[in-house]
Structure 1
Amino acid sequence: MSSFRTIELSDDVFENSGLRFLTVKTPNLKGRGDICLYVPNVIENLTDLPIYILLHGVYGSAWVWAMKGGAHLTAKHMMERGTIRPAIIAMPSDGLWGDGSGYLAHEAQDFAQWIVTDVPKAIRENISCASEKSKICIGGLSMGGYGALKLGAEFPDVFSAISAHSAITKFSEMALFVEEALDSFKLCDTENDVIDVIKRNPKDLPAIRFDCGKNDDLLEGNRLLHGQLDSFGVNHTYEEFAGGHEWEYWQKHVESSFRFFDGQVW
């Protein structure tokens, strides 16, 4: 029996490049949510594939990691070369609140639980090569990097690894991107910087890596988070590369997320 009142799954007759689309209705969103999926061709009856969730940034939706980032093609080529082992790539919407929900629990809608609970459940119930044994990793870019770091740290029992690119690290940095005033988010809690979550339990965290471009306006915040993690004794990997806050950077460095996830779940 399904956990969702309504489900729509794309028909494989019309799918391309291994991409599938799933829409479910959930109380957490007070409506429907979309998930774009890359499901690799695997031998019959193979189950328990890990699930790698990629969160998008502001202005985007479930399609952008695939249609602007080519993440599914990168994953496909890496799997074909044997660089990483088979995995499901899940690219959900953020819930489509304003310019970006922040993947946070708002007063009326819980965009955090949409990602943490609903997305894995929808995949496990509707994609045959996933199961309750499928390990889950979470990554993202910009606002999605913020969501990955915050949710991964808050729910270490759910996620095996975290990887973020060009991440917002402080909630105040959302103001650089969104039209909505930050107090309009009507959040259920008030401490919403990444470090606020991590410092609550720095010893019980998934594996963490993150990177940022040297020409990115968010570089200072990423360097600060790196230093804060060091001060709390949190094991992590932080890297800086050439580039800015742009798709060319994320297209290239999503490979690092896939390699990192692969190393944590197999």
Structure 2
Amino acid sequence: MSSFRTIELSDNNYENDGLRFLTVKTKNLKGRGDICLFVPKVSEGVTNLPIYILLHGVYGSAWVWAMKGGAHRTAQRLMDNGTIRPAIIAMPSDGLWGDGSGYLPHLEKNFSEWIVSDVPNAIIENIPQASVESELCIGGLSMGGYGALRLGIQNPHKFKAISAHSAITKFEEMGDFVEESLSSYGVKDSETAVIDAVKNHKNKIPSLRFDCGTSDDLLEANRLLHQQLLNLKVTHVYQEFEGGHEWPYWIEHVKDSFLFFNGQVTPNPS
């Protein structure tokens, strides 16, 4: 029995570049949510590919990682040359609340559970190359980096690894990007700063990496999070690269997420 009242999956007769599109209705959104998927070609009978979830930033939606960032093409290139093993790349919408939901639980809608529960379930139920045995990793950029860090740390039983690019590190930083007042979010979570989640879950954190551009306005916040993790003796990888808070940076460095995830999931799933 499906977890969702309604499901729409794109027809492979009209799909291109390995991209598929899935829309499901969920109580967590009180409506429909979209997921853009890259499903690589694999041998018949492969049913437990890893699933790498990529979260977008403010203003975007399910299509931006593919149609602005070419993430699926980067993944395909890495798979073709044997640098990473095949994996499903899942690129969900944040739920389309305001300029950005923050992937947080609000008073009326739970954008955290949409990502943590609904997105994997929708893929497992509808994509033959995935199953309950598929290992999950989560990454994202900007607001999506914030979501990946917070949700990955809060759900170590779900995710094998976390990777964030140019991440917002605490809820208050959302105010620099969105039109909505932060009070209007009605956030129902005490762990709105990444470091709060770390302190509450520090003995169970999945493999963790994050990076930021040296011209990014969020650089100092990312450096602070790195130092806080060092102070707490939390194992992680932090890197800085040339670039700003912009698509050329994310296009270049999404490969670092894929390489990191590939190193954390079980080799050669069968």
Q: Deviations over 1:128-187 (max 9, x none)?
A: 010000000000000000000000000000000000000000111101100001111001
SS of equivalent residue, structure 1 residue 199: helix
* Local SS of the residue matching 2:164: strand
Conserved? CA contact 2:104–2:189, under 8 Å: no
Offset at residue 107 of structure 1 (A): 0.6
1:167 maps to which residue? 167
Q: CA deviation at 1:201?
A: 2.0
Secondary structure at the aligned position of 1:196 is classed as: helix
Of all paired residues, the percent bearing the same amino acid is 69
User: Quick check: 1:91 aligned with 2:91?
Assistant: yes
The unaligned stretches of length 5 or more in structure 1 are none
Q: CA deviation at 1:190?
A: 3.6
Q: Secondary structure, in 3 states, of the residue corresponding to 2:140? A: strand
Q: Which residue number corresponds to residue 8 of structure 1?
A: 8
**Residue identity opposite 2:168 in structure 1:** I
Could you tell me which residue of structure 2 aligns to residue 103 of structure 1? Answer: 103
**Residue aligning to 1:224:** 224
**1:1-266 pair list within 5 angstroms:** 1-265=1-265, 266=267
TM-score normalised per structure 1: 0.99
Q: Which AA in structure 2 matches 1:100?
A: G
Partner amino acid for 1:237?
V
Output the amino acid matched with 2:134. Answer: S
TM-score (norm 2): 0.98
Q: Quick one: which amino acid aligns to residue 193 of structure 1?
A: A
- Write the distance in 1 (CA, Å) between the matches of 2:88 and 2:198: 27
Question: Following the alignment from structure 2 to structure 1, what is the Cα–Cα distance between the partners of residues 86 and 170?
Answer: 34
Could you give the per-residue CA deviations for residues 23-51 of structure 1, whole angstroms, max 9, x where no partner exists? 00000000000000000000101111000
Number of residue pairs aligned between Structure 1 and Structure 2: 266
The residue type paired with residue 231 of structure 2 is S
Instruction: Please give the per-residue CA displacement for 1:208-246, whole angstroms capped at 9, x wherever unaligned.
Output: 000000000000100000001011110000000000000
